[in-house]
Structure 1
Amino acid sequence: METHQRRGRTHTSLSSLITLITIASPLASAAPSLTDDSKCECYLTNGTQASFFATHRFLDFRNLAKHAGVPPTIAKPNDSGSAPVTSEYFTSKEWTETFWVQSWNNSHQTREDATVLMVNSPNNVYIEANGDRNPSSQTWLTLRTQRLKDFQTASEIESVAPGFQYLSVRMLARTVGSPGAITALFTYRGSDRLADVQESDLEVRTMDPRNTIQYTNQPSYTEDGDEIDHATKNVTIPQGLPDWTHWAVHRLDWTPKETVWYVDGTEVATISFQTPRDPSKVILNAWSDGGEWSGNMTVNEAAYLQIQWLEIVYNATDENPAKKRKRNGGTGMLRGRDGDDDDDEKDGSCDVVCSIDETTERGKPVTLWNNGGVRMVGGGLITWIPSLTVLGMLALSSGWLW
C-alpha cells in the first residue's frame, strides 16, 4: 500500500481509500436497475460529450405485425403527394405525438442541379414484415424512394416538436437498394439565408461504397458554391463495424460544443465547426432529385431506409415535461437535492438520474442514482455519497487519514 508520512502517522493514499470505499459499499457493485420514464428526472448519456437531458422517447417498430403491408408505388405525382397514410399506426397517439409524414415536393425549390421532380408521399412510409433469413424482429419501419418515369417518389418524416435544443438520437437501421438515393437522419433549422441554416446530418449516399457515410454540420457550401471543408467529414466506417447495408445502431449527439456520431457505440466522427445552437426539428428521409449530390436513379429502381427502433433523449424549448430537470444539455455539474423544492427548481438540480446506455432492455431506462447519490461514470468507479460520508467519518475516527 502506498503511504506518506505526516505528523508522525501513516497517511493512507486516496487511491487506497477509494478502493476500500468501493469494496465496502453495498451499492458499489450493484447493476443499475430497470425503471420507467415516470421515475426519471433526467438522463445522462455516455460518450465523448456525456450530457444530461430532460426527456426520453422511444418508438419501437419491431412488433407491429397487424399494421404490416407494402403498398404499391403510386405512379402519378399528384396522387402520390395526396395519398393517405398507409396504416392506422400512423394515426396512433404514439406516432402523432412524435412525427408527422410529409407530402411536399420540390417543384418550387431552386436547387440548380436537380433534374427530376421529387414528390414526398405518405404512401412511401409504411410498416414492413421482416423478411430476413434470421429475423431479429417481426417488423420494421420503411422509408422508400423510387424512380418512376416522370418523377422520383420519396419519403420524409419530421418531428412534431420544432424546439429540440440538444439531443442524443439513435436508430437501429440499415439502408438497402439501388444507387442514386440519399437516406438520412438529421436535425434541421431552416432559413431563407443559406448561411443561417443550422443542421447536423447523417447521410448515406447509395452511390458510395457501402462502408462510407457522410457527416456534416451544415451549411457545407457557400452561396457561390464553394465547399466549406471544416463542415463535413466523409467517413470510412472502421473495420469490424457493419456497413450501412447491415443493421447497426447509428447515433447522433448534438451538444453545445460539438456534434458527435457513432456506429454501434464506436465514435466515427466529431465536428465542432458551426455546431447548431438554436431550437431545431428532427427529420428522417429517403430521396433523390437526380442532382450531383444524390445521383440519378435508374427508372423503376428503388432504395429504402429501414428502421427497427428510434430513441431520443433531449432538451426542448417548446415544452416543460417535468420540473426540476436538468436542461443544460451537458454543461455544468449535476447537483443532488437539498430538500427544498423551490431551491431545486431554481438551480436545475436532478434527483433521479437515469441512463438509456446501460440498460439491458432497449427502450427501458435504468436508474443510475437517486436521492442525492453521486456516481462517477466512465472511470470504472461507482461510489455513493452516503457510503462515502460514513466511511469518511470512520476513517477520521480511526486515524486512517491522519
Structure 2
Amino acid sequence: MSPTLPALPAVVTGAAILLSLFPLATAAGCECGYMLKQTSTFFTHKMHTDFSEIPDTTDVNAALPDWQVQAWAFDTDSSTGVMARKNEAENVWIKGGKLHLRQKGHKKDDRAPVSVAEVHSKRTDFHHGSFRAKYKVTVDKKADGGTVAGFFFYYDDEDETDIEILTKDGDKTIRYTQHPAYDNVTDSTIPDTTFQMQVKKPWSTMQEHRFDWTPAKTTFFQDNSAVKEMTKNVPKHEGKVMINLWANNGTWSGLPSTKDVKMEMEYIMIYFNTSASQSGNDTGFNSACEAAGGPENNTICWVNDKSGTDSEDSKVTFSASSSSPAYILQSLVLVAGAGLAVLFLVWA
C-alpha cells in the first residue's frame, strides 16, 4: 500500500493525468529510474560493480571502466609528525571475486612513505544518492599501529560524507562524518558532524555499509538497517565516490600498522541522480525514459530493500499496478525536485 502523501500541486496533478496518455512501450526495464521502497526516494541512475563477475587481475584500471586506481603521494609534515604516504597501484587487485586494497606493513623505523591504496569513481557528477558497498577489513592481531578504511562521497574538504573504520577503535566501532568537522579557530570538533557508532557485527565480517544522501539529510545504514541520521553539513555539490585504506601517524589514524591491513569488497552499488538529471537536463536519461513511454509502472523499478540484509539480496521489481502515475509523479517532486515532473509534463 502506498504511503500517505500531501496533496499534489496543480502542475503535478496535470502532469500525472497527461502521463496516462503516454503510449505503452516495450520497456527493457528501469528506463525512468529507481524508487527505493524503504525510504520512498527516487533516483534516475544506477551504477553496480559486482567484483564476483570479474576475473582475477592486478590491472584493475583495465577491468573496472567506472573506477580509477590512484597513484600519487602526500608529503611528510615534520611540524606535526605526519608521515608521507603513497597510493600505489600494486596495493589494489581483484582476486576470488573481491576487490582488495592494502596498506603495506610499515616498520616503526621506516622513513619511506607508507604504502597505501585509493580508488576513485570516474564519475564526478553524483548529486544525491544511495551509496552501498559490502566489505570487511582484516588486521593482523600481532600488528602494532592501525589504519583507516574509508568509503565516502567527496567534492572537497568542506563537502564530504565519510564512512570510516579506524582499526585503533576496535572491531565493533565505525565512524560517520560530514565535513567540515573541525574548527581551526577553537581547535575543537564541530558539534553534530562526527559520530562513533557500534556495528552489530565486527567489521572484520562481511557486511554492507550504506549512506543515503538527500537534500535535507544523510542517513547511514548497516545491512540496510538505518542507524544514524545527520542534518549538519549535508553536502551541497556534486562529487565523486572514493574508497581508501591509509595511515600517516596523524591524530585520526595513529601510527601505521606494522603488518599488512586489507580491505576486501564484494560489490559497490549506487542509486543516484546526476547534477543534470536532478534538474531534468540529463538528455540521455530523458531520451531513454521518453522512448519507453514515460514514468509508468513498467518503466520505473522499485528497490525492495529489506532491513537486515544486503543490497545483493534485495529484489528489484516493477511497481505494482496500484502505483498510479500520480503517486509516481508526486514522489518525484518530493524527493527529486520539480524539474523532472515539469519535464514529464512537457513530454506529454
Q: Same fold (TM over 0.5)?
A: yes
**2:140 paired with 1:140:** no
1:261-319 CA deviation, whole Å, 9 max, x = no partner? 111122121111110011111111111111111010243x1211110111010001267
Report the secondary structure of 1:62's partner residue.
helix
Query: For residue 275 of structure 1, what is the aligned residue in structure 2?
Result: 234
Distance apart, 1:151 and its partner CA: 2.2
* Letter matched to residue 323 of structure 1: N
Distance 1:186 1:361, change over 3 A: closer
Distance 1:296 1:53, change over 3 A: same
TM-score (norm 2): 0.72
Report the secondary structure of 2:232's partner residue.
coil
Query: For residue 36 of structure 2, what is the aligned residue in structure 1?
Result: 45
Looking at both structures, which has the greater relative contact order when contacts are Cα pairs under 8 Å and sequence separation is at least 6?
2
CA distance in 2 between counterparts of 1:187 and 1:265 reads 18
- Structure 2, gaps ≥5 residues long: 1-26, 329-348
CA distance in 1 between counterparts of 2:88 and 2:312 reads 34
**2:304 paired with 1:353:** no
CA distance in 2 between counterparts of 1:310 and 1:115 reads 31
Query: For residue 162 of structure 1, what is the aligned residue in structure 2?
Result: 124
Question: Is the Cα contact below 8 Å between 2:31 and 2:285 reproduced in 1?
Answer: no
Query: For residue 88 of structure 2, what is the aligned residue in structure 1?
Result: 121
Residue correspondence of structure 1 range 89-108 to structure 2 within 5 A: 89-92=60-63, 95-96=64-65, 98-107=66-75
* Letter matched to residue 307 of structure 1: M
Aligned residues between the structures: 283
Asked which structure has the greater CA Rg, the reply is 1
Query: For residue 386 of structure 1, what is the aligned residue in structure 2?
Result: none
Distance apart, 1:355 and its partner CA: 2.7
* Letter matched to residue 155 of structure 2: R
Distance 1:325 1:114, change over 3 A: farther
CA distance in 2 between counterparts of 1:120 and 1:164 reads 24
Distance 1:114 1:122, change over 3 A: farther
Distance apart, 1:37 and its partner CA: 6.9
Query: For residue 154 of structure 2, what is the aligned residue in structure 1?
Result: 188
Question: Is the Cα contact below 8 Å between 1:115 and 1:289 reproduced in 2?
Answer: yes
Distance 1:173 1:361, change over 3 A: closer
CA distance in 2 between counterparts of 1:144 and 1:358 reads 31
- Structure 1, gaps ≥5 residues long: 1-35, 69-85, 130-138, 327-336, 378-402
Q: Taking every aligned residue pair, what percent have the same amino acid on both sides?
A: 22
Match of 1:255 among 211, 214, 219: 214
CA distance in 1 between counterparts of 2:314 and 2:220 reads 20
Query: For residue 317 of structure 1, what is the aligned residue in structure 2?
Result: 275
Distance apart, 1:324 and its partner CA: 7.2
Residue correspondence of structure 1 range 176-325 to structure 2 within 5 A: 176-177=138-139, 179-190=145-156, 197-224=158-185, 225-237=187-199, 241-299=200-258, 301-317=259-275, 320=282, 321-323=284-286
Choose 256-265 or 313-322, whichever is displaced more: 313-322
Distance 1:361 1:101, change over 3 A: closer
CA distance in 2 between counterparts of 1:112 and 1:281 reads 31
